[in-house]
């Protein structure tokens, strides 16, 4: 079934399709088998029909997402459905949906279910889940990318028009690259995180997966908005840039600062991506990427791992046996950091932010691979920490430096697996990046 938002909207407006007909067909097509380990809790048909009943008889033109099916990462609340964060023992059933979910439902979107994730959103691999390792949509021997694993795969396999993930270290971008999707990591605070289980609350943001940048932009516009009840919500400044124009300058890391981790094909695909961006009006210049790389190291090697512990401290201390082993190892590292270490790291981050600011005086955007390579599930299980670290090489700095980013598909390797690049820019450049992605 073609689930592009524009296609479904045309069917609804012409009365060739109703939301009830859509969910009945979609429910039958998804079926009960879940060989990719996508779902933690999929809504049954009766639950889906409760949402369609609220739409029937209403004018589709009044709802930007009328009858559009979407999936929700299971660390984001949907009223009446348990939120597990990838841990059954942690589960609770919210009475209210997360602000961002409610905004989408109010815009006409229909939630299909809650998706699998790296437990407590800790990981970029999609294998750290007691609900099973989420498999790549193209080749199930490979990882889906995480932590927003099931959210990405649900869209890639045609089970939802779009999905919500979260992105603290790259979880809205790596799964997009591995499943040939657009993945948007919004400006922190642009989408409310009220009703989202925190990973690092000061850095978390809700992310969007879609088949096209047009779809991602429409979802973003429907989901965003200041939330006075969310202490980390931000007002969008006036006169933000919405388009880069026909000529722009993009930064590319120096060759010695690029890393592809032994993959012989992705360097070629990255060069081709640069050429494609040049053809639409971009001028490439080399930049010193070191401030970004040094910032990336702070996220898991510094005291921000203690923020992950703070988010689930009571549960972690009382039920450590319920934590997935690798997740427990990572979050358990929090104990080695002192309050003084935190301030030392904050001072270092401030210095790196100043260095990174200098780069933006010369470029409009920066282009990197989204991930230098991809691994099989077996490779990740053999070396779970290092493989995950490699996948965060181009992603872990983003929220610490208050950037926004879009992961864009940019071709395939000879084994059929996808490759993508990430376009990033300073905060509140969201519309401009998605409009550029559309041109690619």
* Catalytic residue annotation: 73, 147, 171
Place of tokens 């722009």: 248
Which residues touch 15 (CB under 8 Å, ≥6 apart)? Answer: none
Task: Tell me the chain's radius of gyration from C-alpha atoms.
Answer: 20
Which two three-digit tokens encode residue 68?
């559009």
- For the CA atoms of 8, 211, 48, 194, the dihedral, rounded to the nearest 10 degrees, stands at -120
Residue 297, SS3 per DSSP: helix
Q: How far apart are CA 141 and CA 72, in angstroms?
A: 24
* Beta bridge partner(s), residue 391: none
Q: How far apart are CA 254 and CA 262, in angstroms?
A: 18
**Per-residue DSSP letter, 274:** H
Element (H, E) at 8: helix 5-13
Closest CA to 422 of 357, 371, 363: 371
């Amino acid at each position: 079934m073609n689930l592009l938002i524009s296609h479904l909207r045309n069917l609804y407006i012409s009365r060739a399709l109703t939301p009830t007909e859509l969910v009945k067909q979609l429910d039958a097509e998804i079926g009960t088998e879940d060989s990719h380990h996508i779902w933690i809790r999929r809504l049954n048909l009766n639950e889906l029909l409760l949402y369609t009943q609220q739409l029937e008889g209403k004018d589709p033109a009044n709802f930007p997402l009328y009858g559009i099916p979407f999936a929700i990462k299971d660390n984001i609340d949907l009223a009446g459905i348990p939120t597990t964060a990838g841990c059954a023992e942690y589960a609770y059933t919210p009475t209210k949906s997360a602000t961002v979910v409610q905004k989408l439902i109010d815009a006409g979107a229909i939630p299909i279910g809650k998706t699998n994730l790296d437990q407590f959103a800790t990981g970029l691999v999609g294998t750290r889940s007691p609900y099973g390792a989420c498999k790549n949509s193209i080749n199930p021997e490979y990882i889906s990318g995480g932590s927003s694993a099931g959210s990405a795969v649900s869209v890639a396999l045609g089970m939802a028009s779009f999905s919500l993930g979260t992105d603290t270290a790259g979880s809205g971008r790596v799964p997009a690259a591995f499943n040939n999707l657009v993945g948007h990591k919004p400006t922190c605070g642009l989408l409310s995180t009220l009703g989202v289980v925190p990973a690092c609350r000061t850095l978390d943001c809700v992310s969007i997966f879609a088949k096209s940048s047009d779809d991602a932009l429409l979802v973003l516009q429907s989901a965003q908005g200041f939330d006075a009840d969310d202490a980390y919500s931000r007002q969008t400044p006036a006169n933000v840039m919405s388009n880069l124009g026909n000529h722009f300058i993009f930064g590319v890391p120096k060759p010695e600062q690029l890393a592809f981790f032994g993959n012989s094909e992705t360097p070629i695909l990255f060069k081709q991506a640069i050429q494609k961006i040049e053809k639409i009006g971009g001028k490439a210049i080399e930049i010193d990427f070191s401030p970004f790389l040094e910032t990336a190291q702070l996220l898991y090697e510094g005291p921000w791992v203690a923020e992950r512990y703070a988010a689930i401290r009571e549960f972690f201390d009382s039920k450590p046996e319920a934590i997935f082993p690798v997740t427990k190892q990572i979050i358990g590292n929090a104990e080695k950091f002192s309050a003084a270490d935190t301030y030392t790291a904050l001072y270092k981050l401030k210095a790196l932010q100043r260095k990174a600011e200098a780069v933006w005086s010369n470029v409009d955007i920066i282009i990197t691979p989204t991930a230098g390579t991809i691994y099989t599930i077996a490779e990740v299980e053999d070396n779970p920490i290092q493989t995950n670290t490699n996948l965060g090489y181009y992603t872990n700095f983003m929220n610490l430096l208050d950037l926004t980013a879009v992961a864009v598909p940019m071709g395939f390797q000879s084994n059929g697996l996808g490759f993508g690049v990430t376009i990033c820019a300073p905060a509140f450049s969201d519309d401009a990046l998605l409009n550029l992605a559309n041109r690619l």
